[in-house]
């Protein structure tokens, strides 16, 4: 009886040690507070549209927090994340630590490349990326989508947008000013221009839904 109790205590000690080590590792992983704030609202939307699909390509995976969280919430969905070649190593730190069967290592992907080197995805997701890209890169992003998404596939784009050239809030206007001080080529994009680029790529707008913190989620379907 005593040996059994000792065994239980040893097992508990091992579990506690594992949790402690895991916590120490997570402290050194890439982290974005914005991702933590928006992942649950985004999940509510994704759950309305993701059911039997088998795979998804994420553009600009960043810290990997979205990939890790959504791969956990959609265990039957193969969530392939990607980012610029120079950013993949950091992104893969979290993916490696997550060790999820449906979250493979991130792939290098630059939307400015004429051939993305991948295809046949049913879904595409990107968050807080279009206002970081240059206008030309946004154009190339949409131009590349038909080569990777199947017909009837869905495209999810999360972030802030302007409407008829106007910001939805004063805070978004201030955020846009801050973006441009970092990189004059970046900035909050006009919804109308995004919708035109999407249409030229054979995408039809399914929904434009308001989200917390002055953001939107645009959902497009590939009709051609």
CATH number where 200 lies: 3.40.50.150
Quick one: 20 and 97 in the same domain? no
155: β partners: 124, 220
pLDDT above 80: residue 18: no
Tokens of 156: 């999810």
Quick one: 174 and 213 in the same domain? yes
The 10s digit of each residue's pLDDT in 115-150 is: 999 999 999 999 999 999 999 999 999 999 999 999
pTM: 0.88
For residue 17, name the pLDDT band (cuts at 50, 70, 90): low
**CB 77, CB 102: distance < 8 Å:** yes
CA within 13 Å, CB half, 180: 10
Helices (H), 30-87: 33-49, 65-73
Return the pLDDT at 26: 60
Domain with 7 in it: 1-30
For residue 28, name the pLDDT band (cuts at 50, 70, 90): confident
Helices (H), the chain: 2-27, 33-49, 65-73, 88-98, 135-144, 170-182, 191-200
Lowest mean pLDDT among 21-25, 51-55, 155-159, 186-190: 21-25
pLDDT above 90: residue 195: yes
Mean of pLDDT over the chain: 91
Tokens of 5: 């109790």
Return the pLDDT at 15: 58
**CB 38, CB 62: distance < 8 Å:** no
Tokens of 224: 């051609």
End-to-end alpha-carbon separation of the chain, Å?
Answer: 69
Return the pLDDT at 151: 95
Quick one: 162 and 110 in the same domain? yes
**CB 121, CB 80: distance < 8 Å:** yes
Quick one: 24 and 65 in the same domain? no
Tell me how many domains the chain contains.
2
């Amino acid at each position: 009886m005593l040996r059994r109790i000792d065994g239980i205590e040893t097992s508990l000690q091992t579990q506690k040690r594992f949790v402690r080590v895991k916590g120490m590792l997570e402290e050194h992983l890439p982290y974005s507070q914005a991702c933590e704030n928006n992942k649950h609202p985004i999940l509510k939307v994704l759950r309305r549209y993701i059911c039997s699909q088998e795979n998804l390509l994420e553009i600009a995976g960043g810290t990997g927090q979205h990939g890790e969280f959504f791969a956990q919430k959609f265990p039957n969905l193969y969530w392939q994340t990607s980012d610029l070649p120079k950013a993949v190593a950091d992104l893969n730190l979290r993916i490696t630590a997550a060790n999820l069967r449906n979250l493979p290592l991130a792939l290098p992907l630059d939307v400015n490349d004429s051939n993305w080197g991948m295809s046949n995805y049913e879904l595409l997701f990107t968050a807080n990326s279009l206002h970081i890209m240059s206008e030309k890169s946004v154009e190339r992003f949409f131009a590349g989508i038909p080569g990777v998404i199947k017909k009837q596939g869905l495209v999810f784009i999360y972030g802030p947008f302007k409407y008829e050239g106007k910001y939805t809030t004063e805070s978004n206007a201030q955020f846009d000013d801050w973006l441009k001080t970092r990189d004059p080529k970046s900035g909050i994009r006009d919804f109308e221009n995004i919708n035109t680029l999407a249409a030229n790529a054979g995408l039809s707008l399914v929904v434009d839904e308001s989200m917390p913190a002055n953001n939107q989620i645009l959902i497009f379907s590939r009709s051609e």
